Structure 1
């Protein structure tokens, strides 16, 4: 199989990192915060150190809180529900994944948030000026994707963050498509909340995500339960991370996330991205020349992560994907990619697009095969 669906989940995984994580997990045994004996204390100390290491990886401000979640969707729900207070205004964009849009709409429907959704331009970017124009006196935060999961376009976070910082508005970033490909610097971009998942760019396991919070951003608890601390309190503890974490943690996932991030040094990410973008340019250059094929994304490679979408004449995206899979053994993602507003804007709804997303294991041979397959599909469609 030629795997070109890394934006959904990376494959193959970082096997050495996962094996190291399993060895550490099996040797540890105990759960953090669930006992006073040596192993439990050791587990708690380990998780605390991993929290700090993740904050360091993200260049988070001193005193930032790292809270673990089941995935980016879980972390975004924790963040959005924790900011909803019935009086605040949130600005977001049409580029967002349903992991942002649905919690926002739910909070809006229940009169817990006011929400404005901004458009993006024809090249897939949201302007700083449009965001600034949407701010109100009671705007609490702007929630924006770092990189679109449909177009791959990377938003100008440093400019957006500087503007919002001047207005005293929090910048909350969904980095699900960028962590592992692009360096993250929360301080440089004035990012107040960063969300990402382990199973995409970091090449880690499913079921683990993180929410990194600036110490000045207040997020209320939205789920309640055992935390291992302050058990006599009938209410959820107020201190982080217990405020936002309940129940036994995914220790294996937490350790695996750290091991995968440890392998993603800035130098390694830079080399990896350069190679991925070289391959994406080859794919883009070939697809735009095919009759009947329309490419979305890839028009500004300096502001792009390694993915792009396309359509083929009047073929449904799912049919193109089925041919790629059945006839050429190429795995891609088709449909709306859980980002319906992007497709409404592009005019590709309701069937969506065919998305090619590259990873660290993608080769020239993979791209050659994808190009040849798309050439055959386009020719077949054009002659029918």
Structure 2
């Protein structure tokens, strides 16, 4: 077990200025050194457009594209690398998946834990006539799968849900939902933005039909790269069209995967960084990374619980799976002010606000406080970072108590 006073077992460079970075729920930072190195080396050496010509550099660029499809297909437990589709991020993938499979008149089930990447497409569809059922989460932060299953009906087209909450860190029982969807012929679209690279995400184990992921969080890749894996037998309607570098004389966009869902020149530097990031995760192992992060999370949670005037949200031990984010507020303070003090006075980076998940904060009542402050732990955090964060919040809470006297 990691003890206070030891370094992280996952070594990377320290952010500039000695910043204690605890905003890994937004994006992992720093990245493993090999991610930066491989992106730079590959782009300098093979930074041409893949699949458009037959010269050697073009072939090498295409080889990276193909090898990264295979790497991610194996990572997510898929079987056909051609159905691993690259996009900008999980928001991009969710938009393609939702608008490409759900139509006016369909019935869809989702939850109050969703990110705006899911909420906003569904709100648009709801305004156009799609029937959307919204299932709330329990007070412990978990959605009861039976409540989702109870909403399923003859006309249900899809269940779209979040695997892990970016606000309260709870990991949902997606497998139970996936089994019920399979039994009823309902499409299951799963947002794994927060869980991919932190806990196992396997297509068959979770029963998902479409997994949407982003590269810049726990997969340790750069920003601007992500995508989805589409199960065999599932087709997504075209909502875009453009160049693929393949069969250019064809008037309509290609139907075959991956080109069916890919448009224009791919983000080759991002794919190179994602390749290096996933290889780093595979080399160290999901289990080791998650254990390290959760040991620090427990240190953080226990330290924060002991501070008078600090409220934590859905952070009790339930025996269920979770990821290493913790949201809190200092009584009587706006979350943004807490974050500013942590940054300016203590050199600690966190996230404040509604975290693009308004329905979570409406349930918690924190929408009236303009959200909450959130710490997100990553593999390069140390017990020293956690101790500093607890001490800083303790001092801020003490100052707030003195102002009230």
**TM-score of the superposition, structure 2-length normalised?**
0.91
Q: How does 1:51-66 map to 2 (within 5 A)?
A: 51-62=69-80, 65-66=83-84
Q: Distance in 2 between matches of 1:64 and 1:12?
A: 31
- The answer to whether 1:177 aligns with 2:194 is yes
Measured after TM superposition, the shift of residue 266 of structure 1 is 7.7
Q: Which deviates the most, 170-179 or 261-270?
A: 261-270
Where does residue 223 of structure 1 map in the other structure? Answer: 240
Where does residue 41 of structure 2 map in the other structure? Answer: 23
Q: Which deviates the most, 293-302 or 46-55?
A: 293-302
Where does residue 254 of structure 1 map in the other structure? Answer: 271
Q: Distance in 2 between matches of 1:87 and 1:143?
A: 16
Q: Distance in 2 between matches of 1:63 and 1:331?
A: 38
Q: Give aligned pairs, total.
A: 383
Where does residue 389 of structure 2 map in the other structure? Answer: 370
Q: Which deviates the most, 13-22 or 127-136?
A: 13-22
Where does residue 380 of structure 2 map in the other structure? Answer: 361
Contact persistence 2:109–2:133 (CA under 8 A): yes
Q: How does 1:70-89 map to 2 (within 5 A)?
A: 70-89=88-107
* 2:286 corresponds to which of 263, 269, 279: 269
Where does residue 116 of structure 1 map in the other structure? Answer: 133
Across the aligned residues of Structure 1 and Structure 2, the Cα RMSD in angstroms comes to 1.6
Where does residue 9 of structure 2 map in the other structure? Answer: none
Q: Distance in 1 between matches of 2:344 and 2:380?
A: 22
Where does residue 110 of structure 2 map in the other structure? Answer: 92
Measured after TM superposition, the shift of residue 98 of structure 1 is 0.3
Where does residue 323 of structure 1 map in the other structure? Answer: 341
Measured after TM superposition, the shift of residue 209 of structure 1 is 0.5
* 2:354 corresponds to which of 336, 339, 349: 336
Change (3 A) 1:368 1:105: same
Where does residue 102 of structure 1 map in the other structure? Answer: 120
Contact persistence 1:204–1:256 (CA under 8 A): yes
Q: Secondary structure at the match of 1:212?
A: strand
- The answer to whether 1:127 aligns with 2:126 is no
Structure 1: give runs of 5+ residues left out of the alignment: none
Measured after TM superposition, the shift of residue 39 of structure 1 is 3.4
Q: Distance in 1 between matches of 2:345 and 2:54?
A: 58
Where does residue 164 of structure 1 map in the other structure? Answer: 181
1:134-176, Cα deviation, whole Å (9 max, x unpaired):
1121212211111100000000122221222111212211111
* 1:278 corresponds to which of 295, 320, 337: 295
Q: Distance in 2 between matches of 1:380 and 1:28?
A: 55
Q: Distance in 1 between matches of 2:126 and 2:89?
A: 23
Q: How does 1:169-248 map to 2 (within 5 A)?
A: 169-248=186-265
1:220-271, Cα deviation, whole Å (9 max, x unpaired):
1211111112322222111111111111111111121111111112862211
Q: Distance in 2 between matches of 1:84 and 1:183?
A: 28
- The answer to whether 1:150 aligns with 2:167 is yes
Contact persistence 2:139–2:314 (CA under 8 A): no
- The answer to whether 1:305 aligns with 2:302 is no
Q: Distance in 1 between matches of 2:397 and 2:141?
A: 25
Contact persistence 1:61–1:187 (CA under 8 A): no
1:331-379, Cα deviation, whole Å (9 max, x unpaired):
1101100000000000000410010110011111111111111111111
Q: Distance in 2 between matches of 1:345 and 1:107?
A: 23
Measured after TM superposition, the shift of residue 30 of structure 1 is 2.5
Contact persistence 1:64–1:212 (CA under 8 A): no
Contact persistence 1:64–1:214 (CA under 8 A): no
Structure 2: give runs of 5+ residues left out of the alignment: 1-18
Contact persistence 1:18–1:204 (CA under 8 A): no
Contact persistence 2:163–2:190 (CA under 8 A): yes
Q: Distance in 1 between matches of 2:59 and 2:301?
A: 52
